[in-house]
Amino acid sequence: MHLVTGGAFNGKKQWVKEYYRLDKVDHQWHSFYEEKQVPDFTEDIVVLEGIERYVRMLLEKAETAFEARALFKKDLDHWKKEKRDVVLIGTDMMKGIVPMNAFDRHWRDATGWCFQDAAAASSRVDTVWYGIAEMIKGEKR
């Protein structure tokens, strides 16, 4: 599993496309900005974009941020067992203004915890800021 995170509109999507040469290989791209369900995985490379939105969907179903985190951990365990490259793309929400709305604060908290869990479960983690990636965990391929 590979976690790619960074600021909104900072080039994460483009970096993943270039890094995995997705214009030349079969892959499956799923965006939680557009879809609400986790897809069945059909290709050797599966990209799940908008992980923070997926965490929000889990939080809407759960009673607490802790429960949403537990649901996310189950998904991570399942994705990690897949015999394919699973790439998680998530926008960093931890910098900036703390939301006034209680639900949005819980979402921010849950997302931070879930990203920590995703980083721990991933063999590689990259941050992308302004189109420049920095590997913070893993080995170069």
Mean pLDDT of 9-35: 97
pLDDT of residue 120: 98
Q: Pick from 51, 36, 72, 39: which is nearest to 2 by CA?
A: 51
| CATH number of the structural domain spanning residue 80 | 3.40.50.300
Q: Which amino acid is it at 69?
A: R
In 3-state terms, what secondary structure has residue 14?
helix
The verdict on residue 85 lying in a domain is yes
Dump pLDDT digits (tens) for 106-124.
Answer: 999 999 999 999 999 999 9
Please say if the pLDDT value at position 35 is more than 90.
yes
Residue of 33, 119, 34 whose CA lies nearest to 72: 119
Percent pLDDT > 90 in the chain is: 92
The pTM assigned to this predicted structure is 0.94
Question: Given this model, what pLDDT does residue 141 score?
Answer: 66
How many domains are contained in the chain?
A: 1
3-state secondary structure 85-129: EEEEEEECCCCCCCCCCHHHHHHHHHHHHHHHHHHHHCCEEEEEE
Q: Kindly tell me if the per-residue pLDDT of 96 is higher than 90.
A: no
User: What does pLDDT average to over the chain?
Assistant: 95
Residues 2/51, Cβ–Cβ less than 8 Å: no
| pLDDT given for residue 98 in this prediction | 86
Rounded CA-CA distance 81/29 in Å is: 19
Domain that holds residue 14: 2-97+104-133
